[in-house]
Amino acid sequence: SFNSLALYNSFQAHLSDRTEDKKEDIVPTDKKIGFIGLGLMGTGMAMNLIKTGHKVTVWNRTAAKCADFVTAGATEAKNVSDLVSECDIVFSMVSDSEALRAIVFGEHGVLDGMKKGKALVDMSTVDIGTVTGLEGAITAREGRFLEAPVVGSVQPAMEGSLVIIGAGDSNLFDDCTSCFQAMGKKAFFLGDVGNGSKMKIIINMITGCIMSGFAEGMAVADRAGLSQETLLDVLNLGAISSPLISGKGKAILANKYPPAFPLKYQQKDMRLALALADQVEQPIPVSAAVNELFKRAKNLGLGEKDISAVYKAVNM
Ligand code: NA7
């Protein structure tokens, strides 16, 4: 079964010599912190809040996932509205817009516990309409709202080296300083709610296009009788060398795709990018084709694998 504590500790073990990522100097806020969504990303983020001395209460739909966090020092809430009532600032990190609306508007949800002095910080990647709708509902109850989607997948989440893109209530952004230091290496503030989601969606749209073009290149190299390993060696020394090319290249060579960023979420983000581009009337023919490729990959049953598994949809 999934042991979040063991997974977290294995990532932390690799960090020991990397002084730039040390978290010892963080002065944790006194505010009571809540965390909703202990999935692949939420696991590392919540663990990093606990390990840096924050007072953390957790909730997850599948309650069994809370046990490791209680062992690590967290409290478990019975439901989301209790969590909001008990905490000053609640972070959420769930799959998609539907999941986020379920925890906010659902029975015993965020809104039930929301009032003056309470705050929600959503860190999931969702559509712009959902975050602006949430902001309206929360501020109508005199609560505060910040969207803070993140750049980085499971390893940065575990290491606390995410890049955080905040937008919305600027005082709330400031109140999150020690939490963002625990979870990330840098936090940006982009102004109005919606700007964070837009930025995040654009970044993942670019990632999807690069990943797909790279997968096609690897497939052509193979069919043309070239060594994919040599192609990678050359790429890694050139202008497009990047953690993405080297990391996903290794995955393709090994033909192993454990999810750092699940492919189904990459397709979700391509879909969000198409909607955004539609809204602003910007043609994005390359991204549209890439969305079709990720849809095919999902149909092939690769949704739970890493985005690099798109190679299997290219090289059929
Ligand atoms: P995971 O590992 O798929 O985790 C998703 C989390 O969302 C997990 O805690 C789920 O609870 C929770 N979830 C999903 N649907 C619901 C509903 N309907 N109600 C409550 N909770 C729900 O995702 P990642 O951590 O990789 O990614 C999270 C986000 O970061 C996503 O937006 C990515 O695009 C970026 P469960 O444990 O299944 O009960």
**How does residue 18 score in pLDDT terms, banded at 50, 70 and 90?**
low
So what's the pLDDT on residue 309? 98
So what's the pLDDT on residue 16? 63
Contacts of 263 (CB under 8 A, 6+ apart): 294, 297, 298, 302, 303, 304, 305, 306, 307, 309, 310
The SS3 of residue 118 is coil
Between the CA of 268 and the centroid of ligand 1 the distance, in Å, is 13
Examine the residue annotation and report whether 118 is marked as an active-site residue of this protein. Answer: no
How far is Cα 314 from Cα 297, in angstroms, rounded to an integer? 8
So what's the pLDDT on residue 122? 98
- What is the atom index within ligand 1 of the atom nearest the CA of 268? 34
Q: What is the pLDDT of residues 258-303, one digit of tens each?
A: 999 999 999 999 999 999 999 999 999 999 999 999 999 999 999 9
Between the CA of 273 and the centroid of ligand 1 the distance, in Å, is 20
The interface predicted TM-score of the complex, written ipTM, equals 0.99
So what's the pLDDT on residue 4? 79
Report the percent of the chain where pLDDT is more than 90. 92
- What is the atom index within ligand 1 of the atom nearest the CA of 61? 39
**How does residue 217 score in pLDDT terms, banded at 50, 70 and 90?**
very high
Between the CA of 63 and the centroid of ligand 1 the distance, in Å, is 13
First to last CA, the chain: 32
pTM summary value:
0.94
What is the residue-averaged pLDDT of the chain? Answer: 96
Q: What are phi and psi of 285, to 5 degrees?
A: -60, -35
Choosing from 38, 47, 58, 94 the residue with most ligand 1 atoms within 8 A of its CB, the one to mutate for a pocket test is 94
The SS3 of residue 283 is coil
From the candidates 55, 118, 198, 200, which is the catalytic residue?
A: 200
- 297 in Cβ contact with 308 (< 8 Å): no
Q: Read off the pLDDT of each residue in 147-157 and give the average, rounded to a whole number.
A: 96
